Amino acid sequence: MLITFDLDDTLICWQPETPTEPVKLPWHQKWFPIEPLRYGTVDLFRKLRNYGWQIGIYTTSHRKSKYIKKLFNLHGLELDLVINQDEHEKIVKNLKEKRKPSKLPSRVNSHLHIDDSEGVLVEGQRFQFRALIVDPLDSNWTKKVLAESISVTQMIEQGCYRT
Ligand SMILES: [Mg+2]
């Protein structure tokens, strides 16, 4: 089972109201351009791993995969997969549809994609992938993600997974 997360306004939040994970850079990495990881991410990833999920990033940003993995590594987190805009373009290149989706997590076997954009939810209905939308200001966001991941797990186990 793979869960994918959007980055901007989902896991990387610059809103002053949104708390972020503390991080202490080792002296030899003080140059690293760190971005604010949303508070709750570390605990959420640990719980998802315990429930048997692999974790990936699916973003429309051009950040390099190496940079994204490093950003999470600084918080002790591993990523199984990173799809950035360049990778995404390869994925949708051969799609027949004129209006291509901004994301297509089903193509990387993601069972559940987490995003802040309602547009992605609509794309999920058009292109048959499962999405959960969380607001960057929602302080209950990790509970929502966990609850949804549990119901997806149950659906998969019972052989009735739906997008
Ligand atoms: Mg976003």
> Residue 127: what pLDDT?
96
Q: What is the Å distance from ligand 1's center to 104 Cα?
A: 14
pLDDT of 77 reads: 97
- Interval between CA 7 and ligand 1 midpoint (Å): 6
Average pLDDT over residues 67-96: 96
Structure tokens at 18: 């949104």
Which residues make Cβ contacts (< 8 Å) with residue 82, sequence separation at least 6? 56, 57, 59, 65, 68, 69
For ligand 1, the distance from its centroid to the CA atom of residue 82, given in whole angstroms, is 15
Q: Per-residue pLDDT for 24 more than 90?
A: no
* Residue 89 pLDDT: 97
- Distance from residue 122's CA to the centre of ligand 1 (Å): 14
Cα(154)–Cα(161) distance, integer angstroms: 8
pLDDT band at 82 (very low <50, low <70, confident <90, very high): very high
CA nearest neighbour of 111 among 58, 65, 40:
58
> Which residues, 6+ apart, have CB-to-CB distance to 85 below 8 Å?
59, 60, 61, 62
CATH of domain 2-17+32-157: 3.40.50.1000
pLDDT, tens digit, for every residue of 120-160?
Answer: 999 999 999 999 999 999 999 999 999 999 999 999 999 99
Which pLDDT score is estimated for 3? 98
**Ligand 1 centroid to 120 CA: how many Å?**
9
Residue 27: per-residue pLDDT: 81
What percent of the chain is modeled with pLDDT above 90? 91
Higher pLDDT, 33 or 11: 11
81-83: strand order across its sheet: 81-83, 54-58, 2-5, 112-115, 131-133
| Structural domain boundaries in the chain | 2-17+32-157
Q: What is the mean pLDDT of residues 15-31?
A: 89
Contact, 82 vs 69, CB < 8 A?
yes
Residue 133: the pLDDT is: 98
81-107 mean pLDDT: 96
pLDDT tens readout for residues 68-79: 999 999 999 999
Q: What is the pLDDT of residues 25-58, one digit of tens each?
A: 888 888 888 899 999 999 999 999 999 999 999 9
45-107-37 Cα angle (round to 5): 30
